[in-house]
Structures are given as C-alpha cells and as structure tokens.
Amino acid sequence: MIGSVMMRVSVVLLLIGMVAGMAMGIQQNFTLAPAHAHLNLVGGVLLFLFGLYYRLVPAAGNSTLARIQGSLHILGGLVLPAGIALTLLNNGAYFAAPAIGSAIVVVATLLFAVVLFRTERT
Ligand code: HEM
C-alpha cells in the first residue's frame, strides 16, 4: 500500500538530510541549508505524516487518488530540495527547477486535502 511506501521513502530521505546536515556542520558551509531543510521537512516529515494517515485510515490509503498523491509527493520531495540546491550552487540560475518542485508539492498537498476531506466526511 502507498502509505508503507511513503513512510519507507521518508525515513531514507530523512537520513540523507540528516547526514547532509552533519556534513554542512563539519565543513562550516551552510549554503545548502535551505535544501537540507526542505528535504527533511517535505521529503521526511510531511511524507511520513501523510503516509501514516494512509496506513491508519485504509479507506483513504487504498484509493487510487492516494496512490497518485503519494507518488507525486515523493517526486516533489526529491525535485524541490534538488532544485533548491541546484539554484543555490549556481548563483540563482536554474530557477525553474525549484519552481517545478514547489508546484509538484503544492499539487500533491492539494490532492491530500481532497483525500482527507472525502474520507473524513464519510
Ligand atoms: C542529524 C540531524 C541534523 C543535523 C546535523 C542538522 C544540521 C543543520 C545545520 C548545520 C543547519 C544550518 C544552520 C545554520 O545555517 O547556521 C541546519 C539548518 C536547518 N535544519 Fe537541520 N539538521 C538536522 C536535522 C534536521 C531535521 C530533522 C529538520 C527538520 C525536520 C531540520 C531542519 C532544518 C531547518 C528548517 C534549518 C534552517 C534552514 C535555513 O536556515 O535555511 N534539520 N541544520
């Protein structure tokens, strides 16, 4: 089920984000701090919470919309921090990358809202 996939991916992303945070601290170079923050929060925390909801509420987690939502959130959770890092490392160039990443995350969150409202109403 998509909830389990989301939770498993989220802990992997969280571990990568934490190791990246340690690397920033060791090198005393905080250029990529916003990428680290978004990887941990969108790819780690939010992805885990949404996945947990799907696990706890199978009526929501077994829906096709939940599968689309979860897949989209995983994609956005990767593209957004990667895009932020790309822009930060290139003096603001490649701005389309974080813009696309954030659009994916917004659409995914909108879909989550639809799943949530639908499920909680029934
Ligand atoms: C092993 C765990 C972690 C380490 C070693 C770590 C390390 C760091 C470092 C070195 C910074 C930059 C601080 C500065 O700019 O002065 C930072 C910023 C930040 N971290 Fe972490 N972090 C960890 C886990 C997390 C987690 C789990 C989250 C969120 C769920 C998180 C969210 C943030 C945020 C929001 C910022 C501020 C980003 C910004 O100023 O643009 N971090 N972290």
The proportion of the chain whose per-residue pLDDT surpasses 90, expressed as a percent, equals 97
Q: What is the pLDDT of residue 50?
A: 98
**70: number of Cβ within 10 Å:** 27
pLDDT tens-place string over residues 1-55: 999 999 999 999 999 999 999 999 999 999 999 999 999 999 999 999 999 999 9
Of all protein residues, whose CA lies closest to atom 35 belonging to ligand 1?
37
The proportion of the chain whose per-residue pLDDT surpasses 70, expressed as a percent, equals 100
Q: Are 94 and 83 in contact (CB under 8 A)?
A: yes
Of all protein residues, whose CA lies closest to atom 4 belonging to ligand 1?
21
Domain range annotation of the chain: 2-121
CA 75 to chain CA mean position, Å: 7
Q: What is the pLDDT of residue 121?
A: 81
Alpha carbons within 13 angstroms on the beta-carbon side of residue 8 total 6
Q: Are 111 and 72 in contact (CB under 8 A)?
A: yes
In this model, does residue 64 exceed pLDDT 90?
A: yes
Q: What is the pLDDT of residue 3?
A: 98
What's the mean per-residue pLDDT of the chain?
A: 97
User: Is the CB of residue 30 below 6 angstroms from any atom belonging to ligand 1?
Assistant: yes
Q: Are 81 and 95 in contact (CB under 8 A)?
A: no
Q: How far apart are CA 96 and CA 15, in angstroms?
A: 27
Q: What is the pLDDT of residue 11?
A: 98
Q: Are 80 and 98 in contact (CB under 8 A)?
A: yes
Q: What is the pLDDT of residue 23?
A: 98
Of all protein residues, whose CA lies closest to atom 2 belonging to ligand 1?
18
Distance 57 CA to ligand 1 centre (A): 31
The helix-helix angle for 47-56 and 64-88 (nearest 10°) equals 170
Distance 84 CA to ligand 1 centre (A): 15
In this model, does residue 122 exceed pLDDT 80?
A: no
